[in-house]
Amino acid sequence: MSHSRSTVLLLNLGHAMDHLFLLIFATAVVAIARDWGMAWPDLMPHTAPAFALFGLLSVPSGRLGDLWGRRSMMVIFFAGMGVSALVIASSTGPWHLFAALTVMGAFASIYHPVGIPMLVQGATRPGFTIGVNGLAGNLGIAGAAILTGFLVKHLGWRAAFAVPGLVSLACAALFWLTVPREEMAPAKRPKKQLDLPRSVMIRVVLVMTLAGATSSMIFNFTTNGNGAFLTERLTGIIEDPATLGVLLALVYTIASFAQLVVGKLIDKYPLKWIYLPIVAAQVPLFVLAAQTSGWPLYALMLAFMIFVFGAIPFVDAMIVQYVDDRMRSRVAGIRLAISFGVASTAVYLLGPVVKGAGFTTLLLLMAGISILTTLFVAFLPGRVPRPAPVPAAVVAGGT
């Protein structure tokens, strides 16, 4: 059964908030470092464990979502993110901040393996549903840039965490009060027969994991580094942090709509032939951006972010096409743990790489990673075999 509009709205809002919360620090790090008399590259690694737990704890989060219930896990997600943000806002030093960010990463791990499978339950157009959800997530990224820039400028960096934290606690209450209780946990529902060849499943799992890891690295490098990158390459043109935040938010907002187009295409055509050109196009754009500054760089940033965001829906679409709903949260959790666990190294390396070699080297590194993603996607099956029909006895609950 499809969800009510209010439930869909809250689930999409959850995706926006998941990404917004994780990227507040990346936007506010310069102000935090200045407040504490530090250099921002030295402070940036403090958020790496948050991104590591964001991936690693997806396994238990997904398992609880399938076996216990997705509604309850979403309430915990909203409440945990809100409390964590308030604790970050009260940080008194780097290690206090480090611990609070890490706890936030643990709660952030809940959304992707729980919220997205909950959203696509009963969806008649899963590709478009995932596209809209991806748009919401990336608008959260845009919100992190513009909202954080505004709050840092007018109220200080602590308000940049406290205000969204209070909103998240309100969402927890709304989700608890308005979203109907599940009659049965997903793992206890009748099984749908998916008789796909073993070789196809192995290929899909490998592509899902490897391409997911490299794409997530690109996502983390760009979304965590674009603020400082734009500040450096627009030096002498724009200095105001709030204006830079608006420019970055505009990039993310425009690029986010690529996912709506991709979502529609996913419902009509084989994944491989949409996914492959999108990841391949990232390579020349990163190479060009590495050598550019000023307004031409801004145009190139918009271009490469369109393709970075456009690649996001594919892994979730693979899970929907190949995995039964009874275990989607668990499969998504395992995939996310591997992909995001590997990709968390991007957050850790961002500061040291930029400090030691500069953004030019970072952009060339991202071009190389995109080449790997393209090679992985080339192994995806060209067309999805149709699942075998479900026997009437199974539908009726028999054997």
Per residue in 261-277, pLDDT tens? 888 888 888 888 888 99
Predicted pLDDT of residue 125:
80
Task: Take residue 172 and report the two structure tokens written for it.
Answer: 């927890």
> How far is 131 from 133, CA to CA, in rounded Å?
5
pLDDT score of 396: 38
The pLDDT score that the predictor gives to residue 142 is 77
Span 362-380, mean pLDDT?
Answer: 91
pLDDT at 104 > cutoff 60: yes
- Scored b (16 or more CB within 10 A) or e, 258-290 reads bbbebbebbeeeebbebbeebbbbbbebbbbbb
DSSP of 85-104: HHHHHT--SHHHHHHHHHHH
Between CA 208 and CA 215 the distance in angstroms is 10
Angle (nearest 5°) at CA 192 between 190 and 196: 155
CA distances from 112 to 73, 95, 215 (A): 11, 28, 15
Specify the pLDDT at position 103: 93
Region 104-129 average pLDDT: 85
- pLDDT of res. 165: 94
377 token code pair: 């996607």
The 10s digit of each residue's pLDDT in 127-170 is 888 889 888 887 887 777 778 888 888 888 899 999 999 999 99
pLDDT at 316: 78
Residue 53 is classified by DSSP as H
Most confident of 73-87, 240-254, 301-315: 73-87
| Residue 163: predicted pLDDT | 94
Query: According to the model, what pLDDT value does residue 397 have?
Result: 40
* Residue 268 CB partners (closer than 8 Å, separation 6+): 127
So what's the pLDDT on residue 116?
87
The model's pLDDT over 211-226, given as tens digits with 9 standing for 90+, comes to 888 888 898 888 878 8
Predicted local distance difference test score (pLDDT) of residue 324: 66
The phi, psi pair for 280, rounded to 5°, reads -65, -35
Q: Which residue has the higher pLDDT, 355 or 228?
A: 228
Q: Would the pLDDT of 394 be above 60?
A: no
The answer to whether residue 181 scores a pLDDT higher than 50 is: yes
For the record, the structure tokens of 381 come out as 């099956």
| pLDDT computed for residue 390 by the predictor | 43
Lowest average pLDDT, out of 114-128, 191-205, 273-287, goes to 191-205
The pLDDT value recorded for residue 384 is 55
Q: Is 397 left (phi over 0), alpha (psi -120 to 50) or beta?
A: left
Residue with tokens 């690693």: 56
DSSP alpha helix (H) spans, the chain: 5-36, 40-43, 48-56, 58-67, 70-89, 94-108, 111-120, 126-154, 157-178, 198-233, 241-256, 258-266, 272-280, 282-290, 294-310, 313-322, 328-357, 359-377, 392-395
Cα diameter, the chain = 72
| Mean pLDDT, range 343-360, rounded to an integer | 76
The residue-averaged pLDDT of 354-379 equals 89
DSSP string, 135-163: HHHHHHHHHHHHHHHHHHHHT-HHHHHHH
Beta-carbon count within 10 A of 345 CB: 15
* 56 touches 109 (CB < 8 A): yes
In the chain, the domains with their CATH numbers are: 5-177+191-395 (1.20.1250.20)
Q: What is the pLDDT of residues 40-61, one digit of tens each?
A: 777 777 777 887 788 788 888 8
CA-wise closest residue to 359 among 311, 305, 301: 301
